[in-house]
Chain A
Amino acid sequence: MRIDRTHLPWLAATIVAIFVLTAAYLLCAESLGWRSGGTPVGLALGVLALGLMVFAALLGLRKRFPIWRIGRTTTWMRAHLWLGFLALPVALLHAAFHARGPLTIALMALTVLVVVSGLIGAWLQHTLPVKMMREVQFETIYDQIERIRGNLLREADETAGKLEDTLAPGPGIGSTVTLTMLTLPELQPEIAEFHSFYREEVREFIGVERPRVKLSDRVWSEKEFARLRRLLPPEAAPIVVSVEEICEEKRQLDRQVLLHRALHGWLLCHIPLSAALILLVCIHAVGALRY
């Protein structure tokens, strides 16, 4: 989610909440001997932290049922971001900035990790959409990329296969067949070089998702295609340009894959950590209240 001016009220509310809670904690902390968790204030902070964490986790459920009319999802998302972030200082105040025992240490570490991963996620979602919009002009539906890659390969094969026909002299009056490269001995080395480049570089590049070939580098690609354009007669330029454009589209698809994974990949860390945190928090709450 893009963090823009519309988030200002949420930012202000979060800062105020942190100040108020910290002030309340400081007022009570000294009289309670700087202990926190078991005291009424500490318990209240703990319950609040738990509530904030559970609420943040509910976003997943909210998104699971997108048409439920229980508040716009964008509001839920904002609340998730800012209240989820607020959970960390509240948890720290609840623990009085101490972690005693393996469970609380794990809890504290998980809370920090979840919030940090969330912050990274927020940063990625703030920056990457703009990057994707600017860098991937040929953006398509992510699930269709595989199919489009296949189409591009087919298109490239067809385009490259037309080189000989394009270079062959036009059919004369009354001729019924197109002459082939057999009649172009003088251009055979250049044609062979084009096909060799196509086979070894272009096909390798288009056929595989994010391959480690030199064509992935746009600068190198431009240089090579410029060389091919110089090498072949001007009539072949449209063919070379077409293949170059197909390579550019494929490069953009690779970029889209990369950015898409970055946009959503962090969730693979954030969601399991959040689930573990909720579980441990529940265990901690039950254990603390019972014992």
Chain B
Amino acid sequence: MSNHELTLTIDGISVTVPHGTTIFDAARLNGISIPTLCHQQNQAPVAVCRICVVDCGERAYQAACIRECEPDMKVQTASEPVLAARQTLYELMLADHPAPCKRQQNSGDCELETQAVAAGVHDVRFRKRAVPVLGADDSSPSIFVDYGACILCDRCIRGCSEIRHNFVIARQGKGYQTAIAFDANQPMGNSSCVSCGECMVSCPTGALTNKRVLAQNLGETANAFSVDTEELLALPVFRGVSGTFLELNAGAVVKRYYKAGETIVREGDNGSTAFYILEGDAEVFIQTPRAHVTTAPDKQDRGLFAVMSSFLQPKAQHKREEENRPPEYIRIDAPVDLPYANPIAALGAGDLFGEMTCMSFYPRSATVRAKTDCVMLEMLRNVLDVMQKNKTFRAQLEANYRSRALVTHLRSVPIFHSLSEEFIHDLRDRVTLLRFAPGQVICAEEDVADALYLVRIGFVKVSQMRREEELVLAYLPRGAYFGEMGLLGEGRRTATCSALDHVELVRIGADDFRAMLNQFPDVRFQLEQVARQRSAENAQMQGRRESNNNPLDQYLAQGLMDAQSLLVLDLEKCTRCDQCVRACADAHDGVTRLLRDGLRFDHYLVATSCRQCRDPLCMVGCPVGSIRRRNSLEVIIEDWCVGCGLCASNCPYGNITIHSFPPTADRPKPVHKATSCDLCHELEEPSCVYACPHDAAHRVKPDEFFAHLLGQAPDAH
């Protein structure tokens, strides 16, 4: 025995170990197992669980993981009093633990529960926790957090900080309210967590579990091959991603080979993956014909009456006189926008597409076809999320975006159309690209206005708080911009903008914004015009909301307050002749957009037809932004709709239907398009109202039309 060593007795066995060795390590080195929960070999001991208590012959039991050995020390690791103390500790912890926890349910290896059973603990004498713990946190795409199952062993904290050096997890709160927290107590998905998985691997219970996103494994097929972790880590875009994470999520990323001409994804299809192009070129385009459902009847079938009908009915269709400029670009789920005139663009190595589908499960916005032989990585949401947080990958994506798409993106915004090339190129290097998680506030009402934002990916909700009630002013899709009102006005934000889903923004700083306004008076003029218009709309909406503070529950329950225009049928006049339905069908190529059915309000039937809601949920998620508001707040569906049906399922009133176009010689498969009442906007009066013989059908503003019923005005009807 050297001077550096000492001898002690553990459970009657004489043990020699170097100075500084803990009792736990000394016992382990000599084949004596001491149970523990908070201690792991690769982490610094903290002795917070106290399960490893041993009797060293001192006044109190010592935590073996932290207590260093001393010469001639006599240690008892499994005496009856020690075992009894351990049992009590297990019971105390189990009283705070939802047994069986998620991990125990899934894999039966919750360390606390298995150790407690091994220690002979079957019933817990203590009452369950009276103070409610934090709820579960499902915000991370790859890790599920169950605060109730956490025993505060700190293994995750040490894993995150000591092993991975990410420093995301820490403790928050005091005493009985103590819990782990991510960053400054953010939901895990909103935090700077990179989903490396170290905390999950470290956790002894079901507090941090692998979500196995979508419970899906992309698996191997004829053109898909699983990729080894080493191979992935060798790729520059995966540099810095945790190998543990990739191993845990094996199968969530595959390598696919496509031959030239092969279709990779098709517009309108549902999916849950994103693609990263490793090699080769692809083209992205919209295949669905750009047409409204109100197409002219087939010329071959045109009889005398059809000819007369054309003559009698003015067909000034699709004229959007309120629009100053026709649309130039169609926004899709890729780093490029498609020109409206010829909706096709190229993607190359290093491009990522399908982010919105992958992160927010929106239908595919365009068809992507291999132009040359291609190699791509197809990945699930958890992998993409980690990659998005990977600095190397982000830098590459941002560089691609800045060099290829940002100019197009800026150009596609009508108000920036007149910016010079020089200015845009200058701006390109100065804008910041930002990411926001669902629900995250981008800017709050009354904050200092310091930037203009362009929506690059996702949807932004614009709202104001009035009388402790949230009033949604707008949902902004990809291509929209916000923040100009604060910059042009009093320097404060006029509304709160938050991310509805995974949002990416282009931030133009206040200085650049002002430089732009000074240099381009035309842009200033247009922005001021838009700001005035938005301000007026907001005031109008607010006024309506406040004036609609009526006592009629039914009015509220039917959501009539939220409607801007209702098709109502006076049931005292309506003879149920269905002329309105027939007229609607005639006006829209045989497909009616209204159903003479719905809820009643007073003696009116609120027909199933678009209400032009102030809070148009139908717009949320449109992958190509084809459902949108006109400047008049009217909801229209643009002709590049890909028929995915998301708007129809989002509409709470069932007022949007999907219409099928039959196959033709050029198009072997039927295509679909969403249809909803367009108020026959090319005509002076909606056809249904015009055709009603009994003066029963009316298109009305509900707050004005029903004012007499709501006690707000004398009977005008």
Contact = CB atoms under 8 A, between A and B. Distances in A.
B693 A263 contact: no
Contacts of A65: 305, 308-309, 312, 586
Contact of A63 (B313, B574, B684, B693): B693
B573 A77 contact: no
Interface in A71-86: 72-74, 76-77
Given A63-B693, A77-B693, A69 B573 contact: no
Interface stretch (A10-18, A126-134, A152-160, A282-290): A126-134
B692 A74 contact: yes
A74 B691 CA distance: 7
A129 B691 contact: no
Given A133-B572, A140-B597, A141-B596, A67 B692 contact: no
A67 B691 contact: yes
A66 B573 contact: no
Contacts of A264: 575-577
Contact of B312 (A59, A69, A73): A69
B714 interface: no
A58 B308 CA distance: 16
A80 to B, nearest CB: 8
Contacts of B587: 67
Given A66-B586, A69-B312, A129 B695 contact: no
Contacts of B308: 65, 68
Contacts of B600: 137
Interface in A39-97: 59, 63, 65-70, 72-74, 76-77
B314 interface: yes
B205 to A, nearest CB: 29
B603 interface: yes
Nearest to A144: B597
Interface in A167-219: none
B312 A77 contact: no
A52 to B, nearest CB: 18
> Could you tell me the dominant secondary structure of chain B's interface residues?
loop
Most A CB atoms within 10 A — which of B312, B575, B600? B575
Contact of B309 (A67, A72, A76): A67
Contacts of B312: 65, 68-70
Contacts of B684: 69
B357 to A, nearest CB: 37
B119 interface: no
A73 B582 CA distance: 13
Contact of A76 (B573, B575, B693): B693
A2 B692 CA distance: 13
Interface string B688-701: 00111111000000
Nearest to B687: A67
A115 B572 CA distance: 24
Interface residues of B, number: 32
Interface in B668-692: 683-684, 687, 690-692
Contacts of A69: 312-314, 683-684, 690
B575 A1 contact: yes
Interface in A120-152: 125, 128-130, 132-133, 137, 140-142
Contacts of A137: 600
B117 interface: no
Contacts of B595: 141
B17 interface: no
A13 to B, nearest CB: 18
B694 A133 contact: no
B313 to A, nearest CB: 6
Contacts of A68: 308-309, 312-313
A66 B584 CA distance: 9
Interface in B107-152: none
Contact of B571 (A6, A67, A133, A260): A133
B602 to A, nearest CB: 10
B693 A73 contact: yes
Contacts of A263: 575-576
Nearest to A259: B576
B695 A1 contact: yes
Contacts of A133: 571-572, 603
A75 to B, nearest CB: 9
Interface string B42-86: 000000000000000000000000000000000000000000000
A129 B571 contact: yes
B579 interface: yes
Nearest to A73: B693
Given A66-B582, A68-B309, A141-B597, A2 B690 contact: no
Most A CB atoms within 10 A — which of B312, B314, B596, B693? B693
A133 B600 CA distance: 10
B566 interface: no
A157 B472 CA distance: 45
Contacts, number: 86
Chain A interface size band reads 20 to 34
B573 A129 contact: yes
B26 interface: no
Interface in B400-456: none
B623 to A, nearest CB: 33
Given A2-B572, A65-B305, A74 B695 contact: yes
A6 B573 CA distance: 13
Nearest to A141: B597
Contact of A142 (B309, B576, B687, B693): B576
B597 A129 contact: no
A63 B579 contact: yes
B386 interface: no
A2 B572 CA distance: 8
A132 B571 contact: yes
A87 to B, nearest CB: 19
B583 interface: yes
Contacts of A76: 693
A228 B690 CA distance: 52
Contacts of B574: 129
A132 B570 CA distance: 12
Contacts of A1: 573, 575, 693-695
A183 to B, nearest CB: 35
Interface in A1-31: 1-2, 6
Nearest to A136: B571
A6 B587 CA distance: 28
A200 B667 CA distance: 56
B558 to A, nearest CB: 15
A148 to B, nearest CB: 11
Contact of A125 (B575, B683, B692): B575
A260 to B, nearest CB: 6
Nearest to B697: A74
Contacts of B573: 1-2, 129
A73 B571 CA distance: 18
B695 A6 contact: yes
A260 B574 CA distance: 11
A284 to B, nearest CB: 29
A66 B691 contact: yes
A74 B693 contact: yes
Contacts of A141: 595-597
Interface string B584-597: 00110000000111
A128 B577 CA distance: 13
B575 A73 contact: no
B690 A73 contact: yes
**Considering the complex of A and B, which 5 residue pairs feature the smallest CB-CB distances, nearest first?**
A66-B691, A66-B583, A133-B571, A77-B693, A74-B695
7 contacts: A2-B573, A66-B586, A66-B690, A69-B312, A69-B313, A73-B693, A129-B574
Interface of B: 305, 308-309, 312-314, 571-577, 579, 582-583, 586-587, 595-597, 600, 603, 683-684, 687, 690-695
Given A1-B695, A67-B583, A73-B579, 4 more contacts: A67-B309, A125-B694, A129-B573, A130-B572
